[in-house]
Structure 1
Amino acid sequence: METIKNKSQTNRAGQKIVSPDYLLFEAPRTKHFMTGSEVTKEAVKRASVDASVSYPITPQSEAAHLIGELWAEGYVGVYFRGENEFGVMSEVVGCSIAGGRTITTTSGPGTLRAFENFPMWAGTRAPMQLVLMARGVNSPLTIQPDNLEVGFLLDTGCMIWYAENVQELFDMILAGFVVAEQPDVHVPVITAVDGFFVSHTREAVYLPPDDIALPPYDPYKSPMPVIDNEIPPGRFLRDPFVMKSNYTSYATHASWQWEVRSAIERSRPYAKHYLKGLTEEFGDKDAEIVFVAAGTAAAQSKEAVRLLEAEEGIKAKVVKLKTIRPFPYKELEEAVKNAKYIFVPEFNVVGWLEREVRKALYKKSNAEIIGTPRVAGGMTMPKEAIVKEVLEFIRK
């Protein structure tokens, strides 16, 4: 179906409302050459967004600025700059639980300063979106690419998707609203990309027309009461029932945290549809050497697969994870069933994805899992370096 009800239905900006499937899969697309920050603007332009709050921090500042331009152009309903990152993440959740489709962006130390809010977003079942342009958070200070902060976010109760390139970033932002707002899901979605490698790099991207847009958010389908003129603020945080030290409070807190995580699990079929699978494979399907990666580490691993075959005659493949929460357990298990070696390349020092892979494959794979190559603080991951580490390991 091209439209939801009829071809004359429009949003506040005068864009024609079309179904998510039409916008993401069926609408004609034209080729452009854009950075990740620019495609963030293009996605928001087509998303019928009600509100966005921003605060500058490298490398997401440009994306936040461009969303502000959309407000000036009439595509975003409310936009302002917060007093700091903590303030921003408090203000955007207010917009969301009051019934607005809401988006914001942050990076690195901004993520850490705002951190208390992310479990609160999930606990209040706010289906908002954070575009996370990951950067280093370690000392000495760096603004360079590093995704350590993603590891910190894993257990906040938010969905976490990871885009490899600008095309995936555009599509994931649009799909993120659709999935997060499903009544049986209704939790926040964090759409992550690697800062600079994606946010500031120009790539080819195919965009649908900008005179069509997603259907507006309907907050009255929420599993939680929307805050409006008839319903006072509070949602699930009402003090007498939840905050007191008694067994009812304990049970409420425990069951609600399970429910939030169950909601993430219920997002699987929707994410699988709109992302065209939770994982993606590249290379020889029966290879014994497998790279499991996300983001630009997956892109570099693909180049390493090409180099291994061209120069060493060794077949390998990449299993790219599009989602981290929910984690694609079944898809990963099936994808590595022939693996002898599983390499997990990452842009961080701690190896949070290696831990996730080990947990997912515990007693389900006989492959040796190797948490390498691992770079951080802004270092790149050349395909030659990946190949060198693979060869050194398998030829021991």
Structure 2
Amino acid sequence: MATQSLVGTKNKAGQTITDPWQMMHDAERTPCFFTGSEVIKEALRRANCDIMIAYPITPQSEAAALIGELFAEGFIGDYFRGESEFAVMSQCAGAAFGGARVFTTTAGPGTMRAMENFPMWAGARLPIQMIVTCRGINSPLSIQPDTLEISYLLNTGMLVWHAETAQDFYDWILKGYIVSEEPDVHLPLALCCDGFFVTHTKDMVNLTPAEMCLPPYDPYRSPVPCMDMECPPVRMMRDPFVMKSNYISYATHASWQQEVWAAVERSRKHTVRWLDGLIEVDNPDADILIVSSGTAVSQGREAKILLEEEGIDVGIVKIKSLRPWPGEEIREVTKNAKHIIVPEFNVTGWMAREIKSTITNSERVYAGPHVCGGMTLPPEIIAADIKSLLGIKTAALAGRGS
């Protein structure tokens, strides 16, 4: 109620605090031609964010620098650079413990270096939003797009969404705060995109008015007390329970980890409402379905056009949310499909494994095609693999660099 009473008033930057549903669904939109990094900045301009903590690592560095400009303009309450990726995520936790709305960005090796913090964020029920501009994490070093790091985030207790386009990015940053800060959720969100493909290319994005902003974060709606060292799970420093009794420690951790994952499930109803479903489907009755997330969906759409020119009927399933996982939706939409194609920008095929573990008759799932280390995924490759599955001979495609 305290937050609702602020609707219609001004924040420190002079923006009008607006009902989130009205802002995201009813407000007039202006088309702008922006890179994904610029879109992150514009979303943060409207997010009523208290603090952004940054550390440079390609390809998220540009977004972090642009948000620094927002601080200079008065749209971010505080802004500073940490001394390492691990330090940034620890500092984000401190700010969130203190009741701030927190934002940060990371990528690739930075995500991996900071990984210890993410289960801590979830366990402490800190609704931090982290943009992950996915890039290669393997040696030899690559700064190019690769989604392998997403697979590491799936079991942290964070919410994980995977944006396909800059428009997704803009809308989901704002909607992400709304979902993650719900009292029955109150979890961190990793909002992922495929680095460079989204961050450094320009696209038309429809923006809400800059004079509107989200209501501020109300830490008193948190399901756990802010900075209360006498109340688990935040009693971490003085006389911690792990040093008093193994039994108390086991019981606390067992019950609380279950509560974190129950909160992930409780986010489902909010995510469905704000993202208009956990998946998006085009031509669900086709025998062949291309199922993926991120920019692999865009490549699948192009492959669909190529195949339909040859009379081959194909459907597209775009997975928006990875946590919560849309298991029921995927089972329903794929129940009659004969072939399920899962193109991915990584070598391990984590998305295909998730789908195989979800559906019956998992032999229908074709894990691929895969590209990694920054290689593009031409739609011709997806189309060729589908035709091969159907027993249709295709001309050999030239090798890379030939």
TM-score (norm 1): 0.95
Over residues 288-310 of structure 1, what are the superposed CA-to-partner deviations in whole Å (9 max), with x where a residue is unaligned? Answer: 10111000001110111111111
Verify: 1:144 aligned to 2:151, yes or no: no
Match of 2:73 in 1: 73
The question of whether the paired residues in 1 share the 8 Å contact of 2:304 and 2:315 is answered with yes
CA distance in 2: counterparts of 1:292 and 1:348, whole angstroms: 15
CA distance in 2: counterparts of 1:23 and 1:243, whole angstroms: 49
Stretches of structure 2 that go unaligned for 5 or more consecutive residues are 393-402
Match of 2:307 in 1: 308
Amino acid at match of 1:295: G
Over residues 151-196 of structure 1, what are the superposed CA-to-partner deviations in whole Å (9 max), with x where a residue is unaligned? Answer: 1111011000010000000001001101000000001001000000
Over residues 186-227 of structure 1, what are the superposed CA-to-partner deviations in whole Å (9 max), with x where a residue is unaligned? Answer: 010010000000010100000011000000000001011113
State how 1:182-193 maps to structure 2 within 5 Å: 182-193=182-193
Over residues 67-104 of structure 1, what are the superposed CA-to-partner deviations in whole Å (9 max), with x where a residue is unaligned? Answer: 11111110100100000101100001111111000000
CA distance in 2: counterparts of 1:134 and 1:242, whole angstroms: 36
- Name whichever of 187-196 and 18-27 sits farther off: 18-27
CA distance in 2: counterparts of 1:366 and 1:378, whole angstroms: 29
CA distance in 2: counterparts of 1:338 and 1:393, whole angstroms: 17
Over residues 287-343 of structure 1, what are the superposed CA-to-partner deviations in whole Å (9 max), with x where a residue is unaligned? Answer: 010111000001110111111111x20111111100000000111111112200111
Match of 1:58 in 2: 58
The question of whether the paired residues in 1 share the 8 Å contact of 2:356 and 2:365 is answered with yes
Match of 1:173 in 2: 173
The question of whether the paired residues in 2 share the 8 Å contact of 1:340 and 1:367 is answered with no
How big is the shift at 1:240?
3.3
Match of 2:380 in 1: 384
The question of whether the paired residues in 2 share the 8 Å contact of 1:97 and 1:227 is answered with yes
Residues 386, 11 of structure 1: alpha-carbon distance in 2 compared, 3 angstrom cutoff = same
Residues 184, 279 of structure 1: alpha-carbon distance in 2 compared, 3 angstrom cutoff = same
How big is the shift at 1:7?
6.4
CA distance in 2: counterparts of 1:391 and 1:161, whole angstroms: 31
CA distance in 1: counterparts of 2:362 and 2:77, whole angstroms: 53
How big is the shift at 1:241?
2.1
Match of 1:393 in 2: 389
Amino acid at match of 2:314: A
SS in 2 for 1:192: strand
The question of whether the paired residues in 1 share the 8 Å contact of 2:124 and 2:233 is answered with no
Residues 306, 85 of structure 1: alpha-carbon distance in 2 compared, 3 angstrom cutoff = same
The question of whether the paired residues in 2 share the 8 Å contact of 1:242 and 1:253 is answered with no
Structure 2 residue corresponding to 1:348, chosen from 346, 371, 388: 346
CA distance in 1: counterparts of 2:83 and 2:338, whole angstroms: 51
How big is the shift at 1:20?
1.0
CA distance in 1: counterparts of 2:245 and 2:376, whole angstroms: 50
Match of 1:298 in 2: 297
How big is the shift at 1:248?
1.9
SS in 2 for 1:324: strand
The question of whether the paired residues in 2 share the 8 Å contact of 1:85 and 1:110 is answered with yes
Verify: 1:85 aligned to 2:85, yes or no: yes
Amino acid at match of 2:352: E
Over residues 124-161 of structure 1, what are the superposed CA-to-partner deviations in whole Å (9 max), with x where a residue is unaligned? Answer: 10001000000001111100000100011110110000
Verify: 1:195 aligned to 2:199, yes or no: no
Stretches of structure 1 that go unaligned for 5 or more consecutive residues are none
Verify: 1:156 aligned to 2:152, yes or no: no
Amino acid at match of 1:115: M
Structure 2 residue corresponding to 1:336, chosen from 329, 334, 337: 334
